[in-house]
Amino acid sequence: MMDVRRFILVGVLVVASVVIEVTVLAPLPFPGATPGLVLVVVAGIAFALGPVTGSAAGFSAGLLLDLAPPAAGTIGIGALTLTVVGYALGRVFESDDRPVILTTLLTAAAAALSVLAVAGLGGLLGNPRIRWDEVLSMVITSALYAALLALPLVPFIRALCRRVLPEAFPR
Amino acid sequence: MRDIQRGRVVLAILVLISVTFILLDLRGSESGPLRPLRALGEAVLGPLERATATVVAPTTDFFRSLSQLGEKDARIAQLEAEQARLTAELETMEYDRDRARAVDELYGLVSANDYVTVPAQVIAVGPAQGFAWTVTIDAGQRDGVQRDMSVITGQGLVGRVVSAGPFTSTVVLIIDATSSVGGRLAGTSQIGIVSGTGRQDVLQMQLLDPLAPLDIDDVVVTFGSEGGRPYAPGIPIGRVSEIRGTQGQLTRMAVLQPWVDMSTLDIVGVVLQSSERNPREPLDGAPLPTASPSPSPTASPSPSPAATSSASPVPSPSATTLPSPAESATPAVP
């Protein structure tokens, strides 16, 4: 029962964030990178529900980003990156003490590293689109946007999870 | 302890699946084993994106804001609603007028070229950190859109359809680093290859003839492919803004600025059918100075020098009668 609700909650969050990222955020002319809403949502889920759900959410979100039109990159790169992000961020906190500053900074760091990882993997696999002169500004701006998004979203997703899945929060 | 182990197992499995996907996709994304997965993604997520884009459009924004008005003070709410409605009406009028103008411009291009097009709206854009310049439009196979069709606006060439789902299709813009289009200079009919650089306002044109005369502000139009696919002939691409390499050098490069502002794409047209008349043939009724053998009526995708030299000095019937770039193209015509 709890697994079904967990599945639905994560599914709705992931699908909504993917669709909003490509239809609302990407067309807006943000300088540098597009705000990584999907990554922030995966981070929020990982912080709230741990590494297993975090990596599963990261995998499905990344795969959806790889598949959602107008995606043109290699299928699997986004899935791989966000799986690792979901797992790593899910492992950070063992106790229930999660300062907002720390979750925000960790999300920003994950966003920066994921942009680097996607560009690096693309470069290794011979993607002709990667422009290294822009990678640095992409890394910096995506970390900034991720921090701004994580500040309200990570606590919000935690509250949402606590409300929908009270069993997952015994304390 | 058991939990940590479970987490590691899940991580390992998911990473393995991702790597498998990457390897499978690298074998060929068009015909490879992941093609059905991509098609599924397009069929399921396309309509979702389409619905979301409709919801965030300004018109529906207005209705949402109306429904959210409070009910406490009925009169204030009513007045506010009235004001909001009128303001929004004004705003949407502006928006509608812009859309109408875009459609008009499109129509002008269409009638000039006898192109049959499907109008479509851009509903989604690829995230910038993917470095791909691709957009999704809200027309798909149901509307007659197929792979490798040109996408245009009233200003000029936007890109080509790389995959068509049932309700949406994905377009690669000409500024994408993987895009290359056969182009020709409108004044001199010199041909070259126009490729994207990944920058929003810069295209590169490699001229096939290093001795070709080339000037700043020369207009470049599409050369056209066989059957008008992927690129229909005579569509304006851009304007020469910089010339690299001197005349006679082995590689001669021109930097172009595209006519279409790619950051504000809204309404575009997908060319279903190009004109039956081949723009590389002399204009109807236009006197030709020499009786050189006219190029074969079937357009060949490989740009042969013979076809260029015998082509009419007028670039194409379309480019000279186009709305905005036409003005700059016309003086080049002798």
A64 neighbourhood in chain B, CB within 8 Å = 41, 45
Per the omega criterion (within 30 degrees of 0), is the bond before B230 cis?
A: yes
B20 within domain boundaries: no
Q: In angstroms, rounded to a whole number, what is the distance separating the alpha carbons of residues B117 and B157?
A: 13
- Count how many domains chain B has: 1
Instruction: Give chain B's mean pLDDT.
Output: 73
Q: Which domain holds residue A118?
A: 2-166
Q: How many domains does chain A have?
A: 1
- Confidence (pLDDT) at B114: 60
- Report the pLDDT value the prediction gives residue B73, as an integer from 0 to 100: 58
B14 is a domain residue: no
B13 assigned to some structural domain: no
Residue A132 lies in a domain: yes
- Which residues of chain A neighbour B46 with C-beta distances below 8 Å? 69
What's the CATH number where A71 sits?
1.10.1760.20
pTM: 0.75
Q: Is residue A171 part of a domain?
A: no
Neighbours of B43 (CB within 10 A): 16
Asked if B163 and A75 come within 8 Å (Cβ–Cβ), the reply is: no
User: Smallest CA–CA separation between B206 and chain A, in Å?
Assistant: 18
Q: How far is B14 from chain A (nearest CA, A)?
A: 7
The verdict on a CB contact (< 8 Å) between A128 and B171 is no
* Nearest residue in B to A23, CA atom: B124
User: A-chain residues within 8 Å CB-CB of B131?
Assistant: 119, 122, 127, 129-131, 134
Assigned domain for A55 exists? yes
Closest CA to B183 of B133, B232, B224: B224
pLDDT band at A138 (very low <50, low <70, confident <90, very high): very high
Question: Is pLDDT of A53 > 90?
Answer: yes
Most A-contacting residue of B3, B4, B6, B11 (CB-CB within 10 A), to test interface: B11
What residues in B contact A133, CB-CB < 8 Å? none
Q: DSSP 3-state assignment of A66?
A: helix
Cβ A73–B53 below 8 Å, yes or no? Answer: no
Does a structural domain hold residue A119?
yes
Q: What is the pLDDT of residues B234-262, one digit of tens each?
A: 888 988 998 887 666 677 788 999 988 88
Cβ-defined contact of B41 to A67 (cutoff 8 Å): yes
Is residue B191 included in any domain, yes or no? yes
Helix locations, chain B, DSSP H:
2-26, 35-56, 58-67, 74-113, 305-310, 324-329
**Nearest-CA residue of chain A relative to B266?**
A27
Candidates B53, B127, B178; nearest CB to A34: B127
Of B188, B218, B225, nearest to B316 by C-alpha is B188
Provide the ipTM: 0.89
Q: Residue range B285-309: average pLDDT?
A: 41
| Domain residue limits at B115 | 25-275+299-334
Q: Please say if the pLDDT value at position B109 is more than 70.
A: no
Maximum pairwise Cα distance, chain B = 88
Q: Which of B6, B29, B128 sits opposite A33 (nearest CB)?
A: B128
Amino acid present at B160: R
In a domain, B195, yes or no: yes
Give the model's pLDDT for residue B297: 41
Does residue A40 form part of some domain?
A: yes
Does pLDDT of B333 surpass 60?
A: no
Instruction: Confirm whether A42 is domain-assigned.
Output: yes
The predicted-structure confidence for A96-137, as pLDDT tens digits, reads as follows 677 889 999 999 999 999 999 999 998 888 888 888 888 999
Assess if residue B11 is contained within a domain.
Answer: no
B173 strand-pairing partners: B159
pLDDT-based confidence at residue B327 (cuts at 50, 70, 90): very low
Task: Tell me the per-residue pLDDT of A6-35, one tens digit each, with 9 for 90 and over.
Answer: 999 999 999 999 999 998 888 877 888 999
Mean pLDDT of B157-170: 91
Q: Is residue A143 part of a domain?
A: yes
pLDDT of res. A81: 96
Does B131 contact A65 at a Cβ distance shorter than 8 Å? Answer: no
Question: How far is the C-alpha of B269 from the C-alpha of A127, rounded, in Å?
Answer: 29
Rounded Cα distance, B3 and B29, in Å: 37
Please give the Cα distance from A23 to A43 (Å, whole number): 21
Nearest to B21 among A15, A26, A75 (CB): A75
Asked whether residue B282 is assigned to any structural domain, the reply reads no
On whether residue B266 sits in a domain, the answer given is yes
